[in-house]
């Protein structure tokens, strides 16, 4: 194809139909994009202009780009020689730490402190004043604090005592230990300020403890006296049987007692004879929450038990046996409110002794 764009015929018929007329030498293709006519009429619209000979289609798949968008507009931008790409691994940094993985990641502490100190420095006064100067002084003191903690005591009182002891020693000859008179004077002032604040804190703690004790005593006295007055009001309401006393005093009336349920059943009922004529009964049971016992007896020949006595004791002496009685049945009942729990009755068989006394000839559960 001629280098001169004017050599391209305007007539599309000037394009040869023979595919062999297309030069195979890529050097014949101009690298100058200006050699491509701007006139679209120079491009044949006739599909017959496309060669049908498959031999004219290159067999090398590498010649066909997979991504049409990846083909640069300027063919000269793509190197023909793949060796033009540097194979030297030295172009890649060996130290991956030199390349930050995350650009938003903060710098290490040491680097951040260096930048902070540099940006905080005020050229007018060396960064000793203003908010930047304060940040600079704070950042610059941290390593000193960590270093000096091996010498300084950890406790506040012990640390204060350390400086109170060393301040006059350092002030005696500051130049001999690398200090200035101004530095030891400032140290003495700080020691005095710290001592004043420490004493104030100690006095505040002592005053707080004393105030707490005083409060506890005052509240104890108030609670005891007030509780006695409430008892007096309740006793007055009970004595006068006037429930309005509670509303007048603005205190709640006593809650109604909740039912406590039936009492425990008496157990281990036993009997022994009393001289010259009587029976002692003993048993086990509870009299808690208002419980008490009742004693019942049925003589031989009787069909019903007779109530003898109420007691909170756990024994009963029956000295009212009729003369000539040959036996009797007894049982103990436990009472609480409207509840009654009966123990199984026992049967006693009597026999007169030779001296006129009575003995038990048998003891067992009554029928």
Inside any domain, residue 262: no
More confident residue, 325 or 317: 317
Which residue spans within 56-196 are E strands per DSSP? Answer: none
Q: Name the nearest CA neighbour of 318 among 304, 333, 331.
A: 331
Q: What percent of the chain has pLDDT over 70?
A: 55
* Whole-number pLDDT of residue 12: 45
**Domain end marker among 121, 151, 181:** 151
**Domain end marker among 235, 256, 277:** 256
Give residues with Cβ within 8 angstroms of 73, minimum separation 6: 33
Q: CA 41, 46, 52 angle in degrees (round to 5)?
A: 135
* Alpha-carbon gap, residue 311 to 292, rounded angstroms: 6
In this structure, are 158 and 250 located in the same domain?
Answer: yes
CB 293 within 8 A of CB 314: yes
- Percent helix, strand and coil across the chain, each to the nearest 5: 45, 15, 40
Query: Which CATH number covers residue 361?
Result: 2.60.40.10
* Alpha-carbon gap, residue 22 to 19, rounded angstroms: 6
Q: What is the DSSP string of 242-297?
A: -THHHHHHT-PPPPPPPP--PPPPPEEEEEEEETTTEEEEEEE---GGG-EEEEEE
pTM across the whole model:
0.35
Q: What is the DSSP letter of 104?
A: T
Inside any domain, residue 93: no
**Domain end marker among 201, 234, 256:** 256
pLDDT single digits (tens) 203-219:
999 999 999 999 999 99
| Band of residue 320 on the pLDDT scale cut at 50, 70, 90 | confident
pLDDT single digits (tens) 57-95:
455 544 445 554 554 455 444 455 545 444 554 444 554
Q: Whole domain around residue 14: which residue ranges?
A: 5-82
126, pLDDT greater than 80: no
The count of structural domains within the chain is 4
Q: What is the DSSP string of 206-246?
A: HHHHHHHHHHHHHHHHHHHHHHHHHHHHHHHHHHHT-THHH
In this structure, are 274 and 234 located in the same domain?
Answer: no
């Amino acid at each position: 194809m001629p280098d001169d764009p004017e050599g391209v015929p305007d007539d599309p018929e000037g394009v040869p139909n023979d595919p062999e007329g297309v030069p195979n030498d890529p050097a014949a293709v101009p690298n100058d994009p200006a050699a491509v006519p701007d006139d679209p009429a120079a491009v044949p619209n006739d599909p017959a202009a496309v060669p049908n000979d498959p031999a004219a289609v290159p067999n090398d798949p590498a010649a066909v780009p997979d991504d049409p968008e990846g083909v640069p507009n300027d063919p000269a931008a793509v190197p023909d020689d793949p060796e033009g790409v540097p194979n030297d691994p030295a172009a890649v940094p060996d130290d991956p730490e030199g390349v930050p993985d995350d650009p938003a990641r903060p710098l290490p502490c040491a680097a951040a402190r260096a930048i902070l100190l540099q940006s905080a420095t005020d050229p007018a006064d060396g960064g000793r004043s203003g908010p930047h100067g304060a940040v600079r002084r704070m950042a610059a003191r941290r390593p000193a604090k960590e270093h000096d903690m091996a010498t300084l005591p950890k406790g506040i009182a012990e640390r204060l005592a350390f400086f109170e002891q060393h301040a006059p020693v350092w002030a005696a000859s500051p130049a001999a230990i690398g200090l200035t008179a101004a530095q030891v004077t400032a140290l003495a002032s700080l020691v005095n300020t710290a001592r004043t604040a420490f004493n104030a804190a100690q006095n505040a703690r002592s005053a707080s403890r004393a105030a707490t004790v005083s409060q506890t005593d005052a509240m104890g006295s108030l609670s005891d006296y007030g509780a006695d007055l409430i008892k007096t009001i309740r006793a007055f309401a009970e004595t006068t049987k006037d429930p309005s006393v509670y509303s007048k005093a603005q205190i709640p009336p006593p809650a109604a007692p909740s039912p406590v349920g039936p009492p425990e059943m008496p157990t281990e009922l036993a009997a022994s004879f009393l001289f010259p004529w009587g029976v002692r009964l003993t048993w086990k049971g509870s009299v808690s929450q208002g419980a008490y016992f009742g004693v019942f007896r049925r003589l031989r020949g009787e069909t019903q038990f007779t109530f003898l006595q109420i007691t909170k004791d756990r024994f009963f002496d029956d000295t009212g046996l009729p003369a000539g009685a040959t036996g009797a049945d007894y049982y103990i009942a436990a009472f609480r409110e409207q509840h009654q729990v009966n123990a199984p009755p026992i049967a006693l068989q009597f026999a007169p002794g030779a001296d006129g006394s009575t003995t038990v000839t048998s003891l067992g559960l009554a029928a």
